Amino acid sequence: MREHNYLHTPNTLGLTEEDDAARMAEDYELSSSEKSKARATSLFVIQSIVARHRGTVKIDLATYTLDIDVLPGEQLACVQEIEEQVGSMCC
């Protein structure tokens, strides 16, 4: 088996260390934006509410869609609670 050490791969993109640092700073800025924080918080709240109603949540990160599966007797209560708790976060 061949072992690869990716920590010491040469810079093949032609970027200087300063360019690379700037790109990393931009990535950090995007990932820590208020919109990302609000999305993560609302997702946590939704997952908590669905779990209380004995359901499951599947997340598609590529399309930012949720597949929520809740028992038929719990659906209305779950939807109402999500709307009350998360409705103002999403808009």
| Interval 31-73: pLDDT, tens | 567 777 888 888 899 999 999 999 999 988 888 789 999 999 9
Quick one: which H or E segment has residue 85?
helix 75-90
pTM: 0.59
- Out of 6-10, 12-16, 39-43, 46-50, give the one with best mean pLDDT: 46-50
Measured CA to CA, the distance from residue 78 to residue 68 in angstroms comes to: 10
Confidence band (pLDDT; 50, 70, 90) for 28?
A: low
Confidence band (pLDDT; 50, 70, 90) for 1?
A: very low
